[in-house]
Structure 1
Amino acid sequence: MKKIKLYTLAAMAATCLATSSCTKEFEELNTNPNATEAATPSALLAPALHDVVTRNNNRALRLTNELMQVHVTILDTDEIHRYVIRPGESDYMWNNWYLQRTNFVNIYKSAQATQQKSYMGIGLILDAWVTSLITDTYGDVPYTEANQGRDGRLQPKFDSQELIYKDLFAKLEEANALLASLEAAATDLPLMLPEDEQRLDPLYNGNLTLWRKLGNSLYLRLLMRVSGRPEVDAAGKIREIVETNTSFYPIFESNEESAILRYTTTQPLTSAFADLREYDFNGSHGLSEFFVNNLNEMEDPRLTKWATKYGSGYSGMSSGYVPGNIPERQSYYPKALMNEPLLGNILNYGEVQFILAEAALRGYISSDPKTYYDKGVAGAITMWGLEVPAGHLEKEAVAWNNAADFEAKLDKIMLQKYYTLFFTDFQQWFEYRRTGHPVLPIGPGVQNGGVMPSRFRYPITVQSLNGANYSAAVAAMGGDDINTKVWWDQ
Structure 2
Amino acid sequence: MKKIIYAIGVTALAMTTMLTSCTKDFEKLNTDPNASQNTLPAQLLAPALVNSVSANLTRNRNFNNELMQVTVDMSDAEGKVFRYDYRSTWSDYTYTQWYLQINDFKAMYKTATDPLTANKSYQGISLICQSWLYSLLTDTYGDIPYFHAMEGKDSTNFRPAFDRQKDIYLDLFKQLDSANTLLKANEAIATGSDPVYNGDVSKWRKFGNSLYLRLLLRISGKSEVSDQVIAKIKDIVDVNAANYPIMTSNADAAILRWTGVGPLTSPLLNIREQDFRTPAICSFFIDHLAAWNDPRIDIPTYGSGGYNRWGIIPYRGMFKGVESGYTQGQGVVKLTYFNSWTATSTGPSLMNEPLTGMILNYSEVCFILAEAAVKGWLKTPASTYYRSGVYNGINQWVPKFTEDSVNNYLAASDMSWIEGESLDKKMERIHIQKYYGMFLTDFQQWFEYRRTGHPVLPKGQGLKNGGVMPARMTYPVFVQSTNTANYRDAVAKQGPDQISTQVWWQKP
Give the TM-score normalised by the residue count of structure 2. Answer: 0.87
Superposed displacement of residue 309, structure 1: 1.4
**Could you tell me whether the CA contact under 8 Å between 1:45 and 1:200 is conserved in 2?**
yes
Which residue of structure 1 lines up, in the alignment, with residue 427 of structure 2?
410
Superposed displacement of residue 393, structure 1: 2.4
Aligned AA for 1:225? R
1:299 to 2:293 alignment: yes
Q: 1:325 aligns with which of 327, 330, 333?
A: 330
1:40 to 2:40 alignment: yes
Secondary structure of the residue that 1:142 maps to in structure 2? coil
**Could you tell me whether the CA contact under 8 Å between 2:309 and 2:398 is conserved in 1?**
no
Which residue of structure 2 lines up, in the alignment, with residue 265 of structure 1?
260
Tell me the distance in 2 between the aligned counterparts of 1:327 and 1:258: 39
Superposed displacement of residue 69, structure 1: 0.3
Which stretch of structure 1 is more off in the superposition, 355-364 or 391-400?
Answer: 391-400
**Could you tell me whether the CA contact under 8 Å between 2:210 and 2:365 is conserved in 1?**
yes
Aligned AA for 1:452? M
Tell me the distance in 2 between the aligned counterparts of 1:434 and 1:320: 21
Q: How does 1:347-366 map to 2 (within 5 A)?
A: 347-366=360-379
1:234 to 2:229 alignment: yes
**Could you tell me whether the CA contact under 8 Å between 1:85 and 1:456 is conserved in 2?**
no
**Could you tell me whether the CA contact under 8 Å between 1:192 and 1:206 is conserved in 2?**
no
Question: CA-atom RMSD, angstroms?
Answer: 1.7
**Could you tell me whether the CA contact under 8 Å between 1:301 and 1:386 is conserved in 2?**
no
Aligned AA for 2:134? T
Aligned AA for 2:411? E
Which residue of structure 2 lines up, in the alignment, with residue 370 of structure 1?
383
Which stretch of structure 1 is more off in the superposition, 334-343 or 126-135?
Answer: 334-343
Tell me the distance in 2 between the aligned counterparts of 1:200 and 1:297: 43
Superposed displacement of residue 396, structure 1: 4.4
Q: How does 1:280-291 map to 2 (within 5 A)?
A: 280-283=275-278, 285-291=279-285
Secondary structure of the residue that 1:158 maps to in structure 2? coil
1:450 to 2:467 alignment: yes
Aligned AA for 1:139? G
Which residue of structure 2 lines up, in the alignment, with residue 251 of structure 1?
246
Which residue of structure 2 lines up, in the alignment, with residue 57 of structure 1?
57
- CA deviation vs aligned residue, 1:178-208 (integer Å, no higher than 9, x gap): 112x1xxxxxxxx4625xx111111111111
Secondary structure of the residue that 1:385 maps to in structure 2? coil
Superposed displacement of residue 30, structure 1: 7.8
CA 1:113–1:422 in structure 2 vs 1: closer, same or farther (change >3 Å)? same
Which stretch of structure 1 is more off in the superposition, 32-41 or 167-176?
Answer: 32-41
Q: How does 1:140-159 map to 2 (within 5 A)?
A: 140-151=143-154, 152-159=156-163
CA 1:403–1:265 in structure 2 vs 1: closer, same or farther (change >3 Å)? same
**Could you tell me whether the CA contact under 8 Å between 1:305 and 1:334 is conserved in 2?**
no
Tell me the distance in 1 between the aligned counterparts of 2:235 and 2:76: 50
Secondary structure of the residue that 2:242 maps to in structure 1? coil
**Could you tell me whether the CA contact under 8 Å between 2:119 and 2:187 is conserved in 1?**
no
CA 1:23–1:30 in structure 2 vs 1: closer, same or farther (change >3 Å)? farther
Tell me the distance in 1 between the aligned counterparts of 2:149 and 2:498: 22
Which residue of structure 1 lines up, in the alignment, with residue 183 of structure 2?
179
Which residue of structure 2 lines up, in the alignment, with residue 488 of structure 1?
505
CA 1:202–1:450 in structure 2 vs 1: closer, same or farther (change >3 Å)? same
Secondary structure of the residue that 1:346 maps to in structure 2? strand
Secondary structure of the residue that 1:419 maps to in structure 2? helix
Which stretch of structure 1 is more off in the superposition, 334-343 or 22-31?
Answer: 22-31
1:314 to 2:308 alignment: no
Superposed displacement of residue 265, structure 1: 1.4
1:135 to 2:148 alignment: no
Tell me the distance in 1 between the aligned counterparts of 2:230 and 2:131: 20
Q: How does 1:197-236 map to 2 (within 5 A)?
A: 197-232=190-225, 233-236=228-231
Which residue of structure 2 lines up, in the alignment, with residue 79 of structure 1?
80
Q: 1:346 aligns with which of 337, 359, 372?
A: 359
Tell me the distance in 1 between the aligned counterparts of 2:57 and 2:414: 29
Secondary structure of the residue that 1:442 maps to in structure 2? coil
**Could you tell me whether the CA contact under 8 Å between 1:41 and 1:107 is conserved in 2?**
yes
Which residue of structure 1 lines up, in the alignment, with residue 346 of structure 2?
none
**Could you tell me whether the CA contact under 8 Å between 2:431 and 2:454 is conserved in 1?**
yes
Superposed displacement of residue 38, structure 1: 2.6
Tell me the distance in 2 between the aligned counterparts of 1:305 and 1:23: 67
Aligned AA for 1:455? R
Which stretch of structure 1 is more off in the superposition, 25-34 or 272-281?
Answer: 25-34
Which residue of structure 2 lines up, in the alignment, with residue 105 of structure 1?
106
Secondary structure of the residue that 1:314 maps to in structure 2? coil
**Could you tell me whether the CA contact under 8 Å between 1:431 and 1:437 is conserved in 2?**
yes
Which stretch of structure 1 is more off in the superposition, 391-400 or 296-305?
Answer: 391-400
**Could you tell me whether the CA contact under 8 Å between 2:431 and 2:455 is conserved in 1?**
yes
Q: 1:380 aligns with which of 382, 393, 397?
A: 393
Superposed displacement of residue 37, structure 1: 4.1
Superposed displacement of residue 32, structure 1: 3.0
Superposed displacement of residue 282, structure 1: 2.1
Which residue of structure 2 lines up, in the alignment, with residue 337 of structure 1?
350
Aligned AA for 2:380? S
Aligned AA for 1:113? D
Tell me the distance in 2 between the aligned counterparts of 1:65 and 1:358: 23
Tell me the distance in 2 between the aligned counterparts of 1:382 and 1:477: 42
Which stretch of structure 1 is more off in the superposition, 143-152 or 28-37?
Answer: 28-37
Tell me the distance in 2 between the aligned counterparts of 1:432 and 1:352: 16
Tell me the distance in 2 between the aligned counterparts of 1:128 and 1:83: 28
Which residue of structure 2 lines up, in the alignment, with residue 93 of structure 1?
94
**Could you tell me whether the CA contact under 8 Å between 1:192 and 1:207 is conserved in 2?**
no
- CA deviation vs aligned residue, 1:410-464 (integer Å, no higher than 9, x gap): 0110011111111111000000000000000000100111100000101110010
**Could you tell me whether the CA contact under 8 Å between 1:357 and 1:370 is conserved in 2?**
yes
1:441 to 2:441 alignment: no
Give the TM-score normalised by the residue count of structure 1. Answer: 0.91
Number of equivalenced pairs: 458
Tell me the distance in 1 between the aligned counterparts of 2:255 and 2:313: 24
- CA deviation vs aligned residue, 1:387-406 (integer Å, no higher than 9, x gap): 33461122343211112211
